Structure 1
Amino acid sequence: MTDSPECPTALYRLYDQDGALLYIGIAVDPEVRLRVHSREKTWWPRVAQRSIEWFGSRPDAEAAEVQAIACEGPSQNVSHSTTRQRGDAKAEYRSPYPKPRQVRIPTDMWTQFGRAAKLGGTSRAKVVSQMIDWYIGEPGVMPPARPPLTPGSPS
């Protein structure tokens, strides 16, 4: 998937068990984004229900997100919120990344990897994250798709 403006983009809403709206967000791949929320947000265990609405482009989804947050007032959003401001969510964030990880990879391979990820419409970080999720057996995760090989590239 790609993050280009023309790419279909989902607007998702997360609710607690009583139907109270917790959060509204957008994502090209909502399943991946929700997995990130589940790892990072202290309020995630309260999520009991969700809804997903698809838009034909990212700009359309962004406009719908801004309007939905302003009109519906989810309790956990900070961006576009009329009741919360930057810094309010610091206590609700638990980073799964306590420190940067280092991996030694030859520069030419790292460059090729970046090109291949870009050809596949993604980034190195997303491919590495998806590969790790698949490798450790996260439910429903498939290995990342390889982009088409170009002439002269290793097979």
Structure 2
Amino acid sequence: MAEKPPTALRRFRTTDELWERFGDAVERGPDPEADMSKVLRAFVRWYVGEPGAKLPERPEDM
């Protein structure tokens, strides 16, 4: 299923340290096309049980 473009900006709070670690992990991840938003959307789809949704893959060195 093709990913629909996002329609709105969403916010949530986290520490700077966790956000930086997440960004580093996304850069090291297996999907060269991934960015932080794409990984978060994939997780949310999986979390709410969207049919066919899969957890995003983590980098090997986690």
TM range (shorter): 0.7 to 0.9
Instruction: Give the whole-Å Cα distance in 2 for the aligned partners of 1:144 and 1:113.
Output: 12
Normalised by the length of structure 1, the TM-score is: 0.35
Structure 1, gaps ≥5 residues long: 1-30, 41-94, 151-155
Runs of 4+ in 1 over 3 A off after TM superposition: none
Which is higher, the Rg of structure 1 or of structure 2? 1
Which residue is 1:127 aligned to? 39
Aligned residues: 59
Cα shift readout 1:6-65 (whole Å, capped 9, x = no counterpart)? xxxxxxxxxxxxxxxxxxxxxxxxx3xx241xxx6xxxxxxxxxxxxxxxxxxxxxxxxx
Root-mean-square deviation (CA), in Å? Answer: 1.8
Which residue is 1:96 aligned to? 7
Which residue is 1:148 aligned to? 60
Higher share of residues assigned strand: 1
Identity of counterpart residues, as a percentage?
31
Normalised by the length of structure 2, the TM-score is: 0.79
Structure 2, gaps ≥5 residues long: none
Which residue is 1:116 aligned to? 25
- Give the aligned residue type for 1:149: D
Cα shift readout 1:70-96 (whole Å, capped 9, x = no counterpart)? xxxxxxxxxxxxxxxxxxxxxxxxx63
Gap change, CA 1:109 and 1:144, over 3 Å in 2 = same
Instruction: Give the whole-Å Cα distance in 1 for the aligned partners of 2:13 and 2:20.
Output: 13
Instruction: Give the whole-Å Cα distance in 1 for the aligned partners of 2:28 and 2:61.
Output: 10
